[in-house]
Structure 1
Amino acid sequence: MNPWQRLNRRMLLVHPVNEVIKYVPVLLGSVILGASSGNHAWSLIPTGIVVVLALSRWFTTTYRVGPTHVELRTGLIQRRSLSVPRSRIRSVDIEADLLHRALGLAVLAIGTGQQAEAGERFKLDALDARVVPGLRAELLAHTGAEVSGPGPQEAEVGGREIGHWRAGWVRYAPLSLTGFAIVAPVVGFGFQYGFGEKVFRSAAHGVGGGNVALGIAGLVLPVVLVVSVASCAQYLATYYGLRVLDDGRTLHLRYGFFTTRQITLDLARFRGATVKEPLLLRLAGAAELEAIMTGENPRQRILPQAPEGAVHHTLAHVLTPAARRVGAHAPVLVPGEPGDFARADATSVTTEKSEVGATASGAGTDAPPSAAPAAAGAPGSVVLVSHGGAARYRRYTRAVGPAAATALVPLVASLVGVRYSPWWWLVPAVLTVVAIALAEDRYRGLGHAVLPETPLAPTWLVTRSGSLDRERDCLAAPGVLGWTIRQTFFQRRAGLATLVAATGAGKKRYLVLDVPVARAHEIIEQITPGLAGTRQVRAT
């Protein structure tokens, strides 16, 4: 049995700084209290307590790597012991912020593929960066992951590069709807403090709608500008230098400017991928890519906002076993037991170089999707089946109906004698036009496909829906655990249903929206043969 070891002594310089930063609000309160009471010692006592507790971590934290388990003991007041079987280790992630990198340290976190509370994660903070590559290789030895090339600040990993960050991608950072969601609370804050009252009062007294529009633009545009700059800065700081490597058994991600991160994803937990296409990104010809994984962090982002060509290039390598091959003896994923994948030796598969696609040197370029090494019918590029006129009619009624109903507001106001500017009639007119465009786009984005099993790959379910936040989900059949056919009153009248595939990965529930009922049963039979005979339909 290996002896117990301590973390690097240089952590005594790291933890006090981090803890003081963490408790800045409390320490500021103690400073104010000390200044108001005239006893400045009060401001020093909390700081001293925080520093002492941070320093005690080095004396109370020990770890050891045994032949069967990895163990960690930590805590001063509340002692805690963690033990992880080495056979259950699925990932070893490495992180280092500016202070860690300046001192030659790194943080090593072990993942077992299971959800864990923050305090229950096996994390070693901080280790000498020079010992991290060797320790990581030792912990991942049973998975067959290749780790080589030790360095003082990072652990270099082997494998084929299937994604590479480009500086020009930062132009897509402000186009995420999540970033612009910050604008709404700011505008709401302005309305709460009188801006809305002034706008509506002006409109009620006949002030031109142009002045009202200028007032709103004067509030929103500066906020949009600030949010855009902040999104670009956050994008650069987080994803600078991103590389995605595939060694056939694991995916390795490395990125970060101030804080560098190295993430290992075990492909044994891989169940598919999601291409996220929010409206603004889609209009700019960009998308995001997420892996559908079981266990911890089931929706791991592989590529942030990036050109469609780069996303489809990486997606094709991830989903197509032949394209993910590395060398002559790399393993590929083939259908195995339900909910899992078995491994096979790629030497039993003959694949021409032209079928594999672009070499690693072309990964991450702004090439068009056709440059990706995806064969015809690959999950990421297959043409989807539309859901018919009934589904289209539902898209229009659900979008246009509420928008047209807003015309009742000025109509009722006219009937009760309330004076208002005629410009307000533009609101229902504009909303109706926008709703029509939205409904048509939602229908164009609605579809599904089922790709049959091949000697190299399992059966795939591909489903897409949405407009403002469109997602294309590619789910492998071995990951599907069960089905639900859900029908509302209006769906039953239209002969449609929502098919829900249950899985232990990613979002847990993947929907095929408004598909004809007969087709829903066919999908179940194609993905999981035999389950369609014991079906149950849930009405809502």
Structure 2
Amino acid sequence: MLLIDPVRMLPSLLLPLIGVLFVGGFSPRSYAWAAAGVVGAVVVAFVRWATFTYEIIGDSLETKRSLISRSIRTIPLERIRGVDVSTPPMHRLLGLAVLKIDTGASGGDEEAKLDGVTLAEAERLKSLLLRSAGRPEAHAQETAAPAGPREESIISVPRKWLLYGPLSGAYLLTPFAFIGGAVGLAFQWGDELGFRQDAAWSAGEWLWEHPYLLLAVALLLVLAMPVTGGLMYAIFNWNFQLKRRDGYLVAERGLINRRSVSLESQRVRGYEIVDGLAERWAGVVRVWAIVTGLGDSETRGQLLPDVPRGVAYQVAADAIGPYRSELRRHPPVARRRRLFRAVFPWLMVASASAAAAWATGATLWWVLLVLTLFLAALGVPLGLDRYASLGHGYDGVRVSVRSGSLRRAQAVIERRAVVGWRLRQTWFQRRAGVLTLIAGVGAGKGGYSAIDVSEAQAADFPAEVTPEWLTPFLTQPPNQ
């Protein structure tokens, strides 16, 4: 850890150290200050390592950090919702791991982190903490002789499916991020790095004066998007495996930083199937678990990366449970609303562009007019697809709602997870006679919406799913 911590702190120390060297003119004194900064990082790492201890006492995990004052954190084992083990590159080289404990009580932050335990100790603690969290009364026997975890593989994602990565769009902007960082560095440190900032401006003006070269650079960046996006996607999702182990769903992934996330099966309330427009054309989807008390669910709750749709539905059904009903269509007025919202804004811009083009005759306004008319035309299939994506349903066990087009999401939630209903209606929805029905869920995002349902559907659907809540309000007493 005396090696890992200073190296991990290096990015945050890099700019201050470079600043010290430049301000000091690369003199012996500036080198001494830079060396002092490095030594300070090592001292901080030593203090972190020397003052931190952890111990399992009875039915609690206790962590201590003490130097001038003592800080003690006690976590009851029964509150533990998940234990994640990750192995960043330097940890892996040195045979170490990072163990994070989540109790679902601190938002997206972990409750405790054991940084620098051995791989064997991390696996031992993970198995012990998860079993003790599920059965605290058996903690004493398991501490003495922990039984081996029962493990069942659900799916091991083939590496050829990593080629679907660019379709998700998650890392497509990586080339532009690199270029943006390089440009920012040039303007910030141009003088110190040997060229004036005026030279950067001159280079930009020269590119602007040569539009074909600028177009070629932009084209190269666009062509690099799927390559770099696919590469980053493969690094993060390499050898993705989903397992069932001792009452937990365990997702393992990663090439450089290998990560293992455990989700307690008893706290899984459903799943969400997501696909973008390009993914839908290719027939692939991603899957997230809907879990109670899970921090950072967008990252920790992922069950599958991009996989074929049929495989995703089968795995979700095997791991959590199937949804066995068709989604119900929303009223035709919802289609008109989708079309209006997809087309009308562009028509307004096109009208303004046409007026400006007629008044000025400038080529720019004619180009903008053609572009906005083209986007308005594209809005028609987009609006129709958004309407086709709307739906809600109930199969007697699970509730499902779906919406979106550029990012379509279908949530499948166990009926027992629904804790309330909310009806929301904007002024425009009131005029159209539709509203948004939100199923309140004590897991995941907290609520999942059926958008633009009819008033009859908004009344009948909650009564169908949770009749015991609504019957007392809908049934008249016999004497009335």
Q: TM-score range by the shorter chain?
A: 0.7 to 0.9
Are positions 1:400 and 2:343 aligned together? yes
Aligned: 1:105 with 2:82: no
Distance 2:203 2:178 in 1: 12
Q: 1:474 and 1:28, CA in 2 relative to 1: closer, same or farther beyond 3 A?
A: same
1:464 aligned to 380, 384, 402, which one? Answer: 402
Q: Secondary structure at the match of 1:406?
A: helix
From 52, 61, 66, the equivalent of 2:52 is 61
Contact in 2 for aligned 1:276/1:289 (Cα 8 Å): yes
How far off its partner does 1:31 sit? 3.2
Correspondence 1:158 to 2:150? yes
What amino acid is the match of 1:476?
E
Distance in 2, matches of 1:194 and 1:521, equals 65
Q: Which stretches in structure 1 are left out of the alignment for 5+ residues?
A: 1-10, 146-155, 203-210, 321-377, 453-458, 536-540
Shift, 1:419, TM fit: 2.6
SS in 1 for 2:467: coil
Counterparts of 2:202 and 2:60 in 1: how far apart (Å)? 62
Tell me which moved more, 168-177 or 440-449: 168-177
| Structure 1 residues 513 and 198: alpha-carbon distance in aligned structure 2, compared to 1, 3 A threshold | farther
Structure 2 spans left out of the alignment, 5+ residues: 137-147, 184-200, 474-480
2-structure distance, mates of 1:101, 1:443: 48
Change (3 A) 1:27 1:197: closer
| Structure 2 CA distance for partners of 1:488 and 1:68, relative to 1, 3 Å | same
- TM-score, normalised with respect to structure 1: 0.74
Q: What residue in structure 1 maps to residue 72 of structure 2? A: 81
AA matched with 1:525 = A
The amino acid that maps onto 1:87 is: E
Closer/same/farther in 2, CA of residues 218 and 92 from structure 1, 3 Å limit: same
Change (3 A) 1:167 1:117: closer
How far is the alpha carbon of 1:180 from its aligned partner?
A: 4.0
Q: Is the 8 A contact 2:105 2:111 kept in 1?
A: no
User: How far is 1:279 from its partner?
Assistant: 0.7
Structure-2 residue corresponding to 1:306: 307
Pick aligned residue for 1:27 from 17, 28, 48? 17
Once the two structures are superposed, the pairs formed by residues 273-288 of structure 1 within 5 Å of their partners are 273-288=271-286
1:442 maps to amino acid: R
TM-score (norm 2): 0.82
Matching residue of 1:94: 85
Q: Tell me the CA shift for residue 385 of structure 1.
A: 1.0
Letter in 2 for 1:158: R
**Distance (Å, rounded) in 1 between the aligned partners of 2:469 and 2:202:** 60
The Cα shift of 1:228 comes to 2.2
2:377 matched to 1:433?
yes
Equivalent-residue separation in structure 1 for 2:308 and 2:24 (angstroms): 55
Structure-2 change in CA distance of 1:198 and 1:41 (3 Å): closer
2:2 aligns to what SS in structure 1? Answer: helix
Q: Which residue of 1 aligns with 2:316?
A: 315
Letter in 1 for 2:85: I
Tell me which residue corresponds to 2:352: 409
Q: Secondary structure at the match of 1:510?
A: strand
2:261 counterpart SS class: strand
SS in 1 for 2:363: coil
1:229 corresponding residue in structure 2: 227
Which deviations, in whole Å up to 9, do the C-alpha atoms of 1:456-514 show, x marking residues without a partner?
A: xxx31111111101111112222222211111223223221110122221111210001
Task: Give the AA of the match of 2:164.
Answer: Y
The structure 2 residue matched to 1:446, chosen from 383, 386, 390, is 390
Distance 2:335 2:304 in 1: 32
* Letter of the 1:432 counterpart: A
Judge conservation of contact 2:80–2:130 (CA < 8 Å) in 1.
Answer: yes
Overall identity of the aligned pairs, in %:
30
What SS does structure 1 have at the residue aligned with 2:85?
Answer: strand
How far residue 92 of structure 1 moved from its aligned partner, in angstroms, is 1.8
Aligned partners of 1:512 and 1:220: how far apart in 2? 40
Measured in 1, the distance between the counterparts of 2:115 and 2:18 equals: 27
Contact 1:485–1:497 (CA under 8 A) maintained in structure 2: yes
Asked if 1:484 corresponds to 2:422, the answer is: yes
Residue number in structure 2 paired with 1:297: 296
- Specify whether residues 108 and 234 from structure 1 end up closer, same or farther in structure 2 by C-alpha distance, changes over 3 A only: same
User: Relative to 1, partners in 2 of residues 1:423 and 1:30: Cα closer, same or farther, differing over 3 Å?
Assistant: closer
Offset of residue 90 of structure 1: 2.3
SS at match of 1:407: helix
Give the drift of 1:186.
Answer: 9.7
Partner of 1:346: none
- Work out the CA distance in 2 between the residues paired with 1:483 and 1:195: 59
State the Cα RMSD in Å.
Answer: 3.3
- How many angstroms does 1:252 deviate by? 0.8
How far is 1:181 from its partner? Answer: 5.7
Which amino acid letter does the alignment assign opposite residue 347 of structure 2? A
For 1:244, the equivalent position in structure 2 comes to 242
